[in-house]
Chains A and B, each alone.
Chain A
Amino acid sequence: MTAAKLDLLQGTLDLMVLQTLTAMGPLHGYGIARRIEQVSGDKVFLNQGTIYASLVRLQQRGWISSAWGVSSNNRKAKFYSITKKGRKQLSEDAVNWQRLASVMSRVLGMQEGGEQ
């Protein structure tokens, strides 16, 4: 639990999961969690277990679907894949995030006593 690791903002994990599934195709929960850790360069503090709450939420909204399957090393696991509705949601949310991120970086870039 290093303080340097980022706590996840509400809703970010859902977006990460959707993006991961878009990029990687069908994946099981462990695979998604590992992938997010790897991509973030281990900067995100993620209890892998928390991914399952996100998965059930996304599934209930109809953005991802799931099916039991067999992993590369022959283990039974539940595989998640993104739905059409999920892709649409992802593209909307991604735009929002990018906008918010750019606004945040501009706001945080303000100099004391100056315009910019």
Chain B
Amino acid sequence: MIDWLLQFFHRVTSIFRRGKLDHDLDAELAAHLELAIEENLQSGLSPEEARRQALIHFGGKQQAIEQHRDARGLPGLEVFFQDLRYAIRALFKNPGFTIAVVITLALGIAVNATMFSLVSAFLLRRPVVHEPDRVVVITSINPARGFLPDANPVSAPNYFAWREANDVFSDISAADEYRTVSLTAAQGKPQALPSAAVSANYFDVLGVAAYLGRTFSEGEDQPGRDHVVILSHELWQRRFGSSPALIDSTIRLNRENYVVIGVMPASFRLLGFTPQVWTPLTLTVADRATSARKDHDLHVFARLKPGLTLQQARLEISNLARRSEQDFPETEKGWSAAVRTLPDFLVYNFGIRNGLALMMTAVGFVLMMACANVAGLLLARATGRQKELGIRIALGAGRLRIIRQLLTEGLLNALIGGGVALVLAYWGINFVATKMTFNEAISAVPLTLDRNVLLFVLGVSLFSAVLCSLAPALRASRTDINAVLKDESRAASAGRSHSRLRTVLVTGEIALAMFLLIGTGLLLRGLYVIEHQNLGFQPEHLLTAGVTLDSARYKDAAQQASFVREIIPRLQHIPGADTVAVTSDLPATGPGSVRVQIRGEPDLPTNQARNTRDAVVSADYFSAAEIPVLRGRTFTEMDSATSSPVVVVNQEFVHRQLRDQEPLGKQIRLNVTGPTPKWSEIVGVVTNVKNYSEAPDEDPEVYEPFLQRPVSSFSIMIRTKADPNGMASDLRSAIEQADADLALLHVMSMPAVIDLQKGGDVLFSRMLAIFALLALVFAGIGIYGLIAYSVGQRTHEIGIRVALGAGSKQVLSMVLFEGLKMTAIGAAIGLALAVPLPKVFAAMFTGLLFSEPRVYFVVPLAIIAVSMLATYIPARRAASVDPTIALRNS
């Protein structure tokens, strides 16, 4: 091994000592011959014969020298350097060509690198926990459909049951990841922060230690000892100036004192979860009760026992889930459980995989088209270089040697392209990063040109080097030297086979462009329809703000109700405020679903129980949101805790749950949290509001009056005629007057809320549109390049045609037809490929509609227009060929 290394070292160094080594060898060989001649002379040969014999015995001198060089150096590497030198010369000899190739490749690679930085950031980054693949996340599977139905949080009773009964986990913990706390620092205003309540062993299960201080210890999730808090690194920096003295000091959370025991490292971040503080999760006897089974809010993290597999854990948990289902059919019917490894779960739960797969496919196509264009350019140039290659072959270059040299040139092109692409990608990634701020979870993930992206660019560059230069290289290596060296004239048939291959490439490009454009068209149209759908309420001129009432000051429903009673008139006094309301869920932001019973109708079997969406709203909600009332009345201040319970339902509820019977006067009961509710009378019917702003679905919905069932977490809505954002500071100070320690979350206009909810759809669809346009441009350049080249090649032929009487119109249409033929074939292939797209998209993006016949009309037209334009320019040149010049030129 050491000998081998030593030899390798010598071989490498000998490349750089070539001159001295050759000189040495020369001297040695000269000495050899002299010694041989001398010996031959001594044995009595004539001087001439002595020399002849010596030379014969020595063999070929040049061969000996070559053998020596091969033995001492790295012949492969030397040939590579030779090819590289040659390739660099060729590069500078034809700068226009080089620039075209480099720019095309750089664009293709840069869009791929930019998109790949997203893949790297969201899919490839492993959570910084101990052995992440041994940590699993247990989720509940909701029998009802909905967004990621198999990634529902788990109810507390199930967590308890599974924690106690399982035999597969060494440790199991729970986290309520989506809480909000109000932090009041020593000075300054209260601030609402996303927080997580976690069981005391949560950080131990994950295997992460605190950056400063410690994590929770056993028993700190018991009432009385639970006023301890761990801060995120970011919050510690931002709010507390990175002061190490903060540990063991007290901060105010939700009006209570908490001791800061630790700060987590900056690297501790689970994709999709953005808590700034962690507090202990205290579970009480009430959380073990059957009624608590309705509340799914715990993410269960567990560590597999050593030696056990994910499969075994799945089996165990699904058995336990089945047991829960048998024991509590009332609440658990149809529910089951899923187990995923932590990295899997985070990516799945974040729901970005489909979007990224789509984007990567699109940019992959763009790269293929870039390569096809470059391959076309190289093929065209290979024709021009046939004579050069012919001479090289005639001088003894083998086929492989020619392929190798052309591949080296391709490699050089691709690496320069890759280098330029890195610069473009750096810019592209920064651009995307500034746009990827549509929610906290997204902006928490840094986008960088990291090692993965660098490796990806290198890989893609090498791949495109092979992709674009292999076909031209193979073809060139088959150069028939007799034909090439003999052939002095530029006959029309010279580039025949070259242009056939190019025709195939360009046709493929058109097909890809067609496919991409149709896909993009369908997506954009689907998004446009959704973006412009009638939501069922008027989002413009609405200001919203989130409120979470803490349990320290607002202990019960009565206090929550009186807070709302107090602030509504205050808010009404804000100049410009027309109508003020509070609601548990802002319209079209996905209100929760509950089971509903209708008085006088038999209960359906539990697995097909009636469900309805449910929102708790204050009296003026419907007028503030401008949701039209169809029948009966809406709520008033009189619908309070002391009056008889009433509800308002939407049209869909009347249609689906009451089968269009007279709704007014009917009594229903919602299976909501808390003590068994009373029957409520339907007093009004309103029009439907979309469940989500970004989907077309409308479910049955029930509205309850806030004063009859107050909730601690709700949103304020203020209708105005002016710019809603102008009232934000008035809103803040009005709340401050009511409660100086209460923090508002997300003070923003309703359209901003909707944008936030749409997330990356808009950004992604715009990027997709850019890629599709790039594809169209590449296809256009491809056609242009091919036709222009073929017209150049056929100048002679066209000259003859014109001389024989062909008019310029005939020549024009001849060339145009050539382009049209390619376009038609390519477009047909692309259309055929695009046929299954609507189905694929519908499966990937639930809620969007992809039936837009106009796309299949507009896109082919656009492609034909571009290709006709690209063909027309060279065709004009062909039509204006002057036969006397064309014929003389050859």
The reply on A62 being an interface residue by CB < 8 A is yes
Contact of A52 with B68 at beta-carbon distance under 8 Å, contacts A61-B6, A61-B7 already known? yes
Q: B residues near A, CB below 8 A?
A: 3, 6-7, 10-11, 14, 24-25, 27-29, 31-32, 34-36, 38-39, 57-61, 63-64, 67-68, 70-72
User: In the assembly, what is the distance between CA of A78 and CA of B29, in Å?
Assistant: 10
The reply on A98 being an interface residue by CB < 8 A is no
User: In the assembly, what is the distance between CA of A37 and CA of B25, in Å?
Assistant: 22
Contact of A28 with B35 at beta-carbon distance under 8 Å, contacts A47-B60, A49-B58, A60-B6 already known? yes
Which residue of chain B has its CB nearest to the CB of A89? B3
Measured between C-beta atoms, what is the minimum distance from B166 to chain A in Å?
A: 61
Closest 8 CB pairs of A and B: A47-B59, A49-B64, A53-B67, A60-B10, A53-B71, A30-B35, A56-B72, A77-B31
User: In the assembly, what is the distance between CA of A54 and CA of B68, in Å?
Assistant: 8
Q: Is the CB of A77 within 8 A of B7?
A: no
A71 cross-chain contacts in B, Cβ below 8 A = 31, 35
Q: Which of A70-86 contact B (CB under 8 A)?
A: 71, 73, 75-78, 85
Which residue of chain A has its CB nearest to the CB of B24? A78
Task: Give the interface centre of B3, B24, B31 by most chain A CB atoms within 10 Å.
Answer: B31
Measured between C-beta atoms, what is the minimum distance from B889 to chain A in Å?
A: 53
The reply on A57 being an interface residue by CB < 8 A is yes
Q: Is the CB of A62 within 8 A of B3?
A: yes
User: In the assembly, what is the distance between CA of A18 and CA of B7, in Å?
Assistant: 17
Hey, what's the 0/1 contact readout for A29-56 against B, CB within 8 Å counting as 1?
A: 1110110000000000001111011101
Q: Is the CB of B71 within 8 A of A75?
A: no
B29 cross-chain contacts in A, Cβ below 8 A = 49, 52
Measured between C-beta atoms, what is the minimum distance from A26 to chain B in Å?
A: 15
Partner of B58, one of A47, A57, A75, A77: A47
User: In the assembly, what is the distance between CA of A31 and CA of B28, in Å?
Assistant: 12
Partner of A60, one of B31, B67, B70, B72: B72
Q: Is the CB of B59 within 8 A of A49?
A: yes
Contact of A77 with B63 at beta-carbon distance under 8 Å, contacts A49-B29, A60-B10, A60-B72 already known? no
Which residue of chain A has its CB nearest to the CB of B63? A49
A29 cross-chain contacts in B, Cβ below 8 A = 28, 32
Partner of B7, one of A50, A52, A54, A60: A60
User: In the assembly, what is the distance between CA of A31 and CA of B36, in Å?
Assistant: 9
User: In the assembly, what is the distance between CA of A63 and CA of B34, in Å?
Assistant: 27
Contact of A53 with B68 at beta-carbon distance under 8 Å, contacts A60-B7, A61-B7 already known? yes
Measured between C-beta atoms, what is the minimum distance from B40 to chain A in Å?
A: 11
Q: Is the CB of B71 within 8 A of A48?
A: no
Contact of A30 with B68 at beta-carbon distance under 8 Å, contacts A49-B58, A61-B6 already known? no
User: In the assembly, what is the distance between CA of A56 and CA of B35, in Å?
Assistant: 20
Q: Is the CB of A52 within 8 A of B31?
A: no
List 11 interface pairs A-B (beta carbons < 8 Å), by A numbering: A31-B35, A49-B58, A49-B63, A52-B67, A53-B72, A71-B31, A75-B34, A75-B35, A75-B38, A78-B24, A85-B3
A31 cross-chain contacts in B, Cβ below 8 A = 35
Which residue of chain B has its CB nearest to the CB of A62? B6
A53 cross-chain contacts in B, Cβ below 8 A = 64, 67-68, 70-72
B60 cross-chain contacts in A, Cβ below 8 A = 47, 49
A60 cross-chain contacts in B, Cβ below 8 A = 6-7, 10-11, 14, 72
User: In the assembly, what is the distance between CA of A48 and CA of B67, in Å?
Assistant: 12
B31 cross-chain contacts in A, Cβ below 8 A = 28, 30, 71, 75-78
B70 cross-chain contacts in A, Cβ below 8 A = 53
Q: Is the CB of A52 within 8 A of B10?
A: no
